[in-house]
Structure 1
Amino acid sequence: MRSFRVSVPASTANVGPGFDSMGLAVNLYLTLHVEESEHWEFIQHSPPAPPSDYKDHFIYKVAKQIADRHHKKLPACKVTETSEIPLARGLGSSASAILAGIEIANQACDLNLSNEEKLQYGTEIEGHPDNIAPALFGGLVISVIIEEEIERIEFKDLQMDIVVSIPGVELKTEAARKVLPESYSKKHAASASAVSNLVVASLVSGDYALAGKMMERDLFHEPYRAKLIPNYDKIRLRAKEFGAYGSIISGAGPTMMSFVPSGNGATIANKMQTILPDYKVQALNIDTEGLKITYS
């Protein structure tokens, strides 16, 4: 097996009203250096510490699952892991880990998986493609599962910067899903879908001000999750005052993501940091490449 390096970007899901269907990759990365070894070993240069038994490592479990699916024996590897993606903050850490595990199996077992197969496997494990697809392909990806087939469209030319406001607390996706209603009225669903449609249309047309406005008008999940998000109203208000197009809950939260004019990310991030001293506020870019493999 050739030694290789796999890099997978973070991602945000929903992008306001694109609930469980719209995702965006950003330039925070999970990076693994993988080489064949006499025994399995995970070395992590970022928290948390790996489990004492490699068989309990989430990435190993995914790799083993994919290898078993193809009736292959997964060879022992030494995996050196570094991650810039905070856990349980709504930035797609689980999707990135899933794709990393799939790629370890793909390389170590010489599976020659296509991107479509990686998307299918990742979606089956994650349960939905909204984080998996952008982490795999990069950019903004809108996707849907219809009769077990995943349909998608990718956008790589959005001209915006990103500012993320990351609190020091975690929020598990399961908890964020529990506050959502089991069903919506026909009128409510129609209005929510119209808002989502307008977000997509405005992004495609380059009307980012309208896109930001509509992102903040979500009716599917943000009104219900807002109470779980620290400083939700404050971040939306102040980011808009500083020049943002709009701010959304990143995935299930608790991170908030603001979309800002291209070139203004660092300035607005600095201003947001002054009003959120207990947060980690970062200016980011949209990642347009997705998962990358290099060989050493």
Structure 2
Amino acid sequence: MAVRVRVPATSANLGPGFDACGLALGLYDELTVAVTGTDLSIDVTGEDDGLRDETHLVVRALRAGFAALGLAPAGLRLTCVNRIPHGRGLGSSAAAIVAGLIAAAALGEARLSTRDVFALACAIEGHPDNVAAALYGGFTVAWYDGTGAARVARTAPPADLRPVAFVPGRRQLTSESRVALPVDVPHVDAAANAGRAALLAMAMSGTLLSEPGDSEPGDSEPGNSPNRNGLPRGGRLDTASWQEALVAATDDRLHQPYRLPAMPETRDLIGRLRAAGLAAVLSGSGPTVLALAVGEDQAALARECGGSGFTVLDLAVDRDGARVEVVAG
């Protein structure tokens, strides 16, 4: 028996949602796994870190999944087709971890639930933002509850969201990028980020409403009926207003100001994109830049802003998350 897993790339943080928010993107790693005799065989196409033993991240995730099921198969045959760039802030490690755990669950006759997989993935990755989006798809907010259990909320962004990724040639390890972060931040910055992250969640869920006074009392659009004080409740923002709201929602004071000085090309590109009215952020810990364009016109504008040294990827929002199927062994 063999299984094939497809896992999307992800962008974490999205500006103010540090270690919490994630977005699944239409760029996929694929993994085929079969239980064999006694040997470990790993074949890799595409992005490759060169590991061919038990230290390979997918193998580590597989072993963790099997251990949770009380299994310990001696031999495994892995075929990896890696399309997600490594070390660029697009969730390659989260994809590898989720792929391995999903494959183990399937080979173990699905005796691991999705929630079990999520908990194990968070334990291996160390933070929940990328793995939540990779596993569930769409836009996710992940956190740890009072017992330390990983939790997630998910929504599907509006259809006209057009992510554009600008991927540089050089890599940046998350562990290296975190060194730049201060132990403490000013209260005013934390408060600002809380408001921006809340606005981001509303904008990405498609429930963003206009400010009171932007619509007329009696407007027939859903949500526009006057409240008991006679003021309009507001309606769905038009495209231009949604674009403006996304720019505001992706402003960050907690991590980007500290990380970007070490990435001058990335910093300058984010500046150009935001000056052009685009919601642009550092993807994860970087150095990739993600522009959250609204509609094709903004996506085209984003592409025009990109400079040399970046590969530009037009990516859909992945709305399905990780998927697995049984294939011939």
- Both structures adopt the same fold (TM-score exceeding 0.5): yes
- 1:268-279 paired onto structure 2 within 5 Å: 268=301, 270-273=303-306, 276-279=307-310
Q: 2:322 aligns with which of 273, 279, 291?
A: 291
RMSD over aligned Cα, in angstroms? 2.0
The more displaced of 222-231 and 113-122 is: 222-231
Which residue does 1:85 correspond to in 2?
84
For residues 11-50 of structure 1, give each alpha carbon's deviation from its aligned partner in whole angstroms, at most 9, with x where no partner exists.
0110110011100000111101223333321111113264
Spell out the pairing of 1:16-95 with structure 2 (5 A cutoff): 16-38=15-37, 39-48=39-48, 50-52=50-52, 54-95=53-94
- What SS does structure 2 have at the residue aligned with 1:220? coil
| Residue number in structure 1 paired with 2:138 | 139
> Residue type matched to 1:62 in 2?
A
Unmatched runs of 5 consecutive residues or more in structure 2? 209-236
C-alpha deviation, 1:216, in angstroms:
4.2
Structure with larger Rg: 2
**How far apart, in 2, do the equivalents of 1:94 and 1:212 lie?**
27
Q: Runs of at least 4 residues of structure 1 off by over 4 A?
A: none
User: Do the aligned partners of residues 286 and 32 (structure 1) sit closer, same or farther apart at CA in structure 2, a change above 3 Å counting?
Assistant: same
Q: 2:35–2:73: 8 Å Cα contact kept in structure 1?
A: no
Deviates more, 1:39-48 or 1:93-102: 39-48
Amino acid at match of 2:174: T
Deviation at 1:65, TM superposition (A): 2.2
| CA distance in 1 between partners of 2:261 and 2:121 (Å) | 30
Q: How many angstroms does 1:75 deviate by?
A: 4.8
Deviates more, 1:130-139 or 1:109-118: 109-118
In structure 1, what is the Cα distance between the partners aligned to 2:152 and 2:257? Answer: 27
Offset of residue 227 of structure 1: 0.8
Once residues 190 and 81 of structure 1 are traced to their aligned partners in structure 2, the CA distance between those partners, rounded to angstroms, is 43
* Equivalent pair of 2:69/2:111 in contact (CA under 8 Å): no
1:193-239 Cα offsets, whole Å, 9 max, x none, are: 12222222333335532343224421111111111223234323433
Partner of 1:214: 248
| TM, length-normalised to structure 2 | 0.82
Tell me the distance in 2 between the aligned counterparts of 1:286 and 1:25: 6
Moved more, 163-172 or 68-77: 68-77
- Deviates further, 282-291 or 38-47: 38-47
Matched residues in 2 for 1:33 and 1:268: separation? 38
What stretches of structure 1 of length at least 5 have no aligned partner? none
Q: Which residues in structure 2 correspond to 1:152-231 (within 5 Å)? A: 152-158=152-158, 159-204=160-205, 205-206=207-208, 207=237, 208-231=242-265
Q: Compute the displacement of 1:71 (Å).
A: 2.1
Output the CA distance in 2 between the equivalents of 1:233 and 1:61.
Answer: 35
Match of 1:263 among 288, 296, 303: 296
User: Where does residue 149 of structure 2 map in the other structure?
Assistant: 149
Contact 2:3 2:103 (C-alpha < 8 Å) held by counterparts: no
- 1:253 corresponds to which residue? 286
Report the identity percentage: 27
**Greater Cα offset, 199-208 or 170-179:** 199-208
- Give the paired residue count: 291
Could you say if the C-alpha distance between residues 203 and 161 of structure 1 is closer, same or farther in structure 2, counting changes exceeding 3 Å?
same
